[in-house]
A and B are shown apart, each in its own frame.
Chain A
Amino acid sequence: MSVMEAGTPAAGIRGAAATSAETAARETLLSVENITLSFGGVHAIRNVSFEIAKGEIRAIIGPNGAGKTSMLNVINGFYHPQEGLISFRGQERRRMKPYEAANQGIARTFQNVALFRGMTTLDNIMAGRTLKMHRGFFWQCLHWGPALKEEVEHRHKVEEIIDFLEIQAIRKTPVGRLPYGLQKRVELARALAMEPDLLLLDEPMAGMNLEEKEDMSRFILDVNQQLGTTIALIEHDIGVVMDLSDRVVVLDHGEKIADGMPADVQANKAVIEAYLGVEH
């Protein structure tokens, strides 16, 4: 189990977190119903339903190959499920292009860092503002007047995020040169620059050392509480999940095997079997 239990600051803050009653009363931001996704004959997700309430941190856990990342891909429109419904902010949708999902306010980070490697940290985060910028080609050519004003406005916003995540020093560094932990942080910054309603984090702490994990947990909580962003989180470190999340969904072999408060899920027999194996 993780060190997160050992009374790190993150754990302390979570102590004052919302109770289950509060969570249930919140309005639903996103719900997936009976999602089935397959590639050829391989079922990646089978008939999975759950919902994410506004303002919560929702963890999706499960062993490798359980279909967690596929689930995120379905949510932001990169994969199209064969069956099932997704509704976001009460609007149902079927086949949606990824950029439409982005437009509706869904941002994400990736399991394997998917930064724009040829660009600097600043440009990467500015890239997150793409949807919020509207000046057309003519003004872009001149880079003057309204276009310059817009650019500077968004630069202010980006600088806020840079301050928030404490990455001022690497502002002008090409991201390819950054160490892994910082790349993950830049990726979070880029997602935050989109000012999303729903933030999907795909293993934000994979491959990090203890200190980096603590930092990242801190940032996730800050984002959730200060910016009010709803977060769906995939993570393997159970300690982190238990400390951070309000509710947990457990997937195994593409099926949902448990859903509920962290403590309940932790005690769930099916979950323990999925993680530790079944005695025969």
Chain B
Amino acid sequence: MDILYQVFIDPFVQMVELPDFFLQVLWEGFVSGVLYALIALGFVLIFKASGVFNFAQGIMVVFAALSLVGLYALGLPAYVALIATVGIMGILAYTVERTIFHHLVNQPDIILLMATIGLTYFLVGFGEFVFGGDPKVMITEELGLPTGSTAFDVLGGLVILQHIDIAAAVIAIIMVACLAVFFNKTRIGRALRAVADDHQAALSVGISLDQIWMIVWFAAGIVALATGIMWGARSDVSFALEIIAFKALPVLILGGFTSIPGAIVGGLIIGIGEKLGEIYWGPLVGGGIESWLAYVIALVFLLFRPQGLFGEKIIERV
């Protein structure tokens, strides 16, 4: 009985007793949720437009952040470094398309996935080779991003909001809005969806795969850069960031692989669920459950809705 109490009652009692702390936890969860959502967004972009599950998104985040910091360290002004990094992501998109995906048109999904894993390996090696393996500090202030924090008096306690987190949320919202318009309102957006459905059919109606893929990889690169800056501002810029790429998978599972709103909602659910779980239920089993809770949440969702939150019901045909 005691264990049942600890699992089903006690955490909620704690939440009600210390509402300010609860709000703080919610906010923390929300912020990491936003960052998960940003990473997932990069995945969704490429998946939606080419059917490739881009495993390299995580390393692209690291790579973009490292380039930015590295260029700044070379003496470029912060904003010039930022623009130059955008340029680097463009070159990366071009190179990736030319050397890899141009040759893999019409291959099964698993092969494309593997190619991005190969790319991940290459970029990890390349990044370490160029920038070294040490963690770096993100140039948050130099980029004009707000630092510091504001404390609010809520419910008889303090809730502290970091300015950078608020900025992250705002930037994420703007990016999502831009992407939604891009996908739904432009000619290229329609072409993207066509390519994702069937390479050959898209080619046959005159859509240039090369062009489309370059565009999405570039867009994903920019999303990666934004993610890298936000994430780097909260911790260090290091290759350890790469592990967060795995967190994108449960997010995508929840939201569906092709849904931009899905990525956001999924990211928030995972971010908040993970934090709540860790703080309120984690101590029961010795803590550290953040490492796997996201996957279990996604798994439970999947068992009830195999098509994800925003996916359509699958009718199997033969």
The residue that A111 contacts in the complex, of B315, B316, B318, with Cβ under 8 A, is B318
Instruction: Provide the bound-state CA to CA distance between A198 and B78, in Å.
Output: 75
Chain B residue with Cβ nearest A202: B318
Could you tell me the distance in whole angstroms from the C-beta of A113 to the nearest C-beta in chain B? 11
Contact string, B292-318, partner A, CB cutoff 8 A, digits 1/0?
A: 000000000000000000000001111
Could you tell me the distance in whole angstroms from the C-beta of A138 to the nearest C-beta in chain B? 33
Instruction: Provide the bound-state CA to CA distance between A78 and B317, in Å.
Output: 9
Is chain A's binding surface mostly helix, strand, loop or mixed?
loop
Where the two chains meet, the residues of A that have a C-beta atom closer than 8 Å to any C-beta of B are 39, 69, 73, 78, 110-112, 114
Contact assessment for B315 and A78 in the assembled complex, using a CB-CB cutoff below 8 Å: no
Instruction: Provide the bound-state CA to CA distance between A78 and B315, in Å.
Output: 11
Q: Chain B residues near A110 (CB, 8 Å)?
A: 318
Contact assessment for A69 and B315 in the assembled complex, using a CB-CB cutoff below 8 Å: no
Contact assessment for B318 and A73 in the assembled complex, using a CB-CB cutoff below 8 Å: yes
Could you tell me the distance in whole angstroms from the C-beta of B307 to the nearest C-beta in chain A? 14
Could you tell me the distance in whole angstroms from the C-beta of B313 to the nearest C-beta in chain A? 8
Could you tell me the distance in whole angstroms from the C-beta of B99 to the nearest C-beta in chain A? 28
Instruction: Provide the bound-state CA to CA distance between A111 and B318, in Å.
Output: 7
Chain B residue with Cβ nearest A108: B318
Q: Chain A residues near B317 (CB, 8 Å)?
A: 69
7 new A-B contacts at CB < 8 Å, known A69-B318, A78-B316, A111-B318: A39-B315, A69-B317, A73-B318, A78-B318, A110-B318, A112-B318, A114-B318
Could you tell me the distance in whole angstroms from the C-beta of B253 to the nearest C-beta in chain A? 24
Could you tell me the distance in whole angstroms from the C-beta of A91 to the nearest C-beta in chain B? 24
Q: Chain A residues near B316 (CB, 8 Å)?
A: 78
A-B contact pairs, 10 of them (CB 8 A): A39-B315, A69-B317, A69-B318, A73-B318, A78-B316, A78-B318, A110-B318, A111-B318, A112-B318, A114-B318
Instruction: Provide the bound-state CA to CA distance between A39 and B314, in Å.
Output: 11
Q: Chain A residues near B318 (CB, 8 Å)?
A: 69, 73, 78, 110-112, 114
Q: Chain A residues near B315 (CB, 8 Å)?
A: 39
From 16 to 65 in chain B, residues with beta carbon under 8 angstroms from any chain A beta carbon are: none
Chain A residue with Cβ nearest B313: A40
Q: Chain B residues near A73 (CB, 8 Å)?
A: 318
Chain A residue with Cβ nearest B315: A39
Instruction: Provide the bound-state CA to CA distance between A14 and B318, in Å.
Output: 31
Q: Chain B residues near A111 (CB, 8 Å)?
A: 318
Chain B residue with Cβ nearest A42: B315
Q: Chain B residues near A69 (CB, 8 Å)?
A: 317-318
Q: Chain B residues near A78 (CB, 8 Å)?
A: 316, 318
Could you tell me the distance in whole angstroms from the C-beta of A280 to the nearest C-beta in chain B? 33
Could you tell me the distance in whole angstroms from the C-beta of A68 to the nearest C-beta in chain B? 12
Instruction: Provide the bound-state CA to CA distance between A257 and B5, in Å.
Output: 63
Q: Chain B residues near A114 (CB, 8 Å)?
A: 318
Chain A residue with Cβ nearest B318: A110
Contact string, B172-207, partner A, CB cutoff 8 A, digits 1/0?
A: 000000000000000000000000000000000000
Instruction: Provide the bound-state CA to CA distance between A112 and B318, in Å.
Output: 7
Instruction: Provide the bound-state CA to CA distance between A110 and B316, in Å.
Output: 14
Instruction: Provide the bound-state CA to CA distance between A111 and B316, in Å.
Output: 14
Instruction: Provide the bound-state CA to CA distance between A69 and B316, in Å.
Output: 12
Could you tell me the distance in whole angstroms from the C-beta of B304 to the nearest C-beta in chain A? 18
Could you tell me the distance in whole angstroms from the C-beta of A71 to the nearest C-beta in chain B? 13
Instruction: Provide the bound-state CA to CA distance between A39 and B317, in Å.
Output: 12
Instruction: Provide the bound-state CA to CA distance between A78 and B318, in Å.
Output: 9
From 63 to 80 in chain B, residues with beta carbon under 8 angstroms from any chain A beta carbon are: none
Give the 7 A-B CB pairs with smallest separation, nearest first.
A110-B318, A39-B315, A114-B318, A78-B318, A73-B318, A69-B318, A111-B318
Instruction: Provide the bound-state CA to CA distance between A248 and B318, in Å.
Output: 23
Instruction: Provide the bound-state CA to CA distance between A114 and B316, in Å.
Output: 13
Chain B residue with Cβ nearest A70: B317
Could you tell me the distance in whole angstroms from the C-beta of A248 to the nearest C-beta in chain B? 23
Instruction: Provide the bound-state CA to CA distance between A213 and B316, in Å.
Output: 29
Determine which residue in B315, B316, B317, B318 has the highest number of CB atoms from chain A within 10 A of its CB, and name it.
Answer: B318
Could you tell me the distance in whole angstroms from the C-beta of A220 to the nearest C-beta in chain B? 20
Chain B residue with Cβ nearest A76: B318
